[in-house]
Structure 1
């Protein structure tokens, strides 16, 4: 393998590790998985998000409380992602789309960008500094959640904001009966 190809492969692995780090943050917040959330940050990281400026433990406690009391479901979706790697430091910009189902059955949507400085320490990429550029926000008309009235719809597990969510089940298996609408 040529040196150029090896360097490109190493950069791709680093980029994937960085993206995996950002996904741990999003999934950890949406599932209220504190350990997963904190694994995305170095313990001395500084995060500036809305009115919050502080460390990862305090961010989790503050944000989880807001989401737990304000919404019944949240989705932190990661979109366009750019990443510049320079040795053990990287700068990333990741567009996001946040959607929350509020406790009053309204839906809040917001978009912006996470702007991160990540550092590789002890072989692991984690966020060292984050600023959150919130660019827009709004309410989406409320509609019923689709298929909520289908018998057995949650036989494979109901969505939840903890480790009871079906995404944690190993191995994932199907418990629902075959059903082909219209037949």
Structure 2
């Protein structure tokens, strides 16, 4: 049995790794925005990137500084969910289209939902993929009826960590452990 890997397989593996690195960039952007994690957010962009989002057109630092107060004032929580993703790579340049679903729990207890696509040009510089140009194509928006958050009345629901728009969020806990008492509702 031969363990020789073909050149075609190695090429495909390299492309798969590039595609995963690019998807990780998209995830860092979303997580950085939702957790107000400036470092994670900025790590998705080259410093000289241009972003066109709504009425904003500028660089990544300015985008972060503009968008965080807007989200802080308007919403208690946001989710930038990434959906369908296409990625065309040519050398050190990639063009992607990533569908998204934005959900915000507003401070007035309403829920805002919007959908669109991030259309990006990424560049690999010094071995790292990052966004060099982003266009945000917002395609629809609406309000969703509000309901009570499930299990909010469970006394120890946040013992493992309360959702937070900061590094206090339980997703940053290392190692993640359970501090809640065993309970099987009957």
- Shorter chain as normaliser: what TM range? over 0.9
TM-superposed CA distance for 1:151, in Å, is 1.1
TM-superposed CA distance for 1:101, in Å, is 0.3
Which residue of structure 2 aligns with residue 25 of structure 1? 29
State the distance in 2 between where 1:62 and 1:99 align.
Answer: 19
State the distance in 2 between where 1:18 and 1:160 align.
Answer: 26
The TM-score normalised by the length of structure 2 is 0.97
Which residue of structure 1 aligns with residue 173 of structure 2? 169
Find 1:141's aligned residue among 131, 141, 145: 145
Find 1:130's aligned residue among 134, 137, 146: 134
State the distance in 2 between where 1:118 and 1:99 align.
Answer: 25
TM-superposed CA distance for 1:158, in Å, is 0.2
Paired residues in the alignment total 182
Is there any run of 5+ residues in structure 1 with no aligned partner, and where?
none
Is there any run of 5+ residues in structure 2 with no aligned partner, and where?
none
Which residue of structure 2 aligns with residue 76 of structure 1? 80
Which structure 1 residue ranges, 4+ long, deviate > 6 Å from structure 2? Answer: none
Which residue of structure 2 aligns with residue 117 of structure 1? 121
Q: CA RMSD in A?
A: 0.4
State the distance in 2 between where 1:180 and 1:49 align.
Answer: 46
State the Cα deviation string for residues 18-46 of structure 1 (Å, max 9, x = none).
00001000000000000110000000000
State the distance in 1 between where 2:45 and 2:105 align.
Answer: 26
1:37 aligns with 2:41: yes
Which residue of structure 2 aligns with residue 11 of structure 1? 15
Three-state SS of the structure 2 residue aligned to 1:13 is helix
